[in-house]
Amino acid sequence: MATNYEIAAARNPKWSNPEKNMIDLEVDFAPLDEDWVPYTCSPTDVVDHSRTLYTNALAGQYGTIADYEHHTLWTPYYEDSIEVSTEGLVQLLLEKGVLSDDEVDSILLEKTEHVGYYRTTTDGVDKQWGGGMA
């Protein structure tokens, strides 16, 4: 059974998505010790307080609903690396005079590998990392 909380106050409503079917707000729930809790409400939520918050926000009881702000979700990131094909082979070719020191650069391999995804946090300060592929 879903737990319903008494709403003491709510503030700072903004659309959670471009479809405008969910609203983010800060809510002061009467039974909780926290003053303001970030909360996303929906008209189809299973709990009464969520549906009430959504209806009241639409009615302007918590102020004007701010527009949805799109932020970058997950972006692939890559790591570049340079590897010597085989260290022993390079050393042997140098010792035998097959390669000069200048020619060693021609046998270096450079590659880019997909490592995972990152996204900038909503405050734009730090990046959250996740989804490693390797």
Q: Is residue 50 predicted with pLDDT exceeding 70?
A: yes
Is the residue at 65 inside a domain?
no
Is the residue at 101 inside a domain?
yes
* 8 A C-beta contact, residue 14 and residue 69: yes
pLDDT the model gives residue 115: 77
pLDDT the model gives residue 124: 63
Q: Is residue 134 predicted with pLDDT exceeding 50?
A: no
The residue range of the domain holding 80 is 75-130
pLDDT the model gives residue 132: 53
Average pLDDT over every residue of 55-75: 90
pLDDT, averaged across the chain? 83
pTM (global) more than 0.75 = no
**Residue 36: which residues within 8 A CB-CB, separation 6 or more?**
11, 26, 27, 28
Is the residue at 30 inside a domain?
yes
Task: Give me the number of domains the chain comprises.
Answer: 2
Tell me, yes or no, whether 50 and 88 share the same domain: no
pLDDT in tens, 9-34: 999 999 999 999 999 999 999 888 88
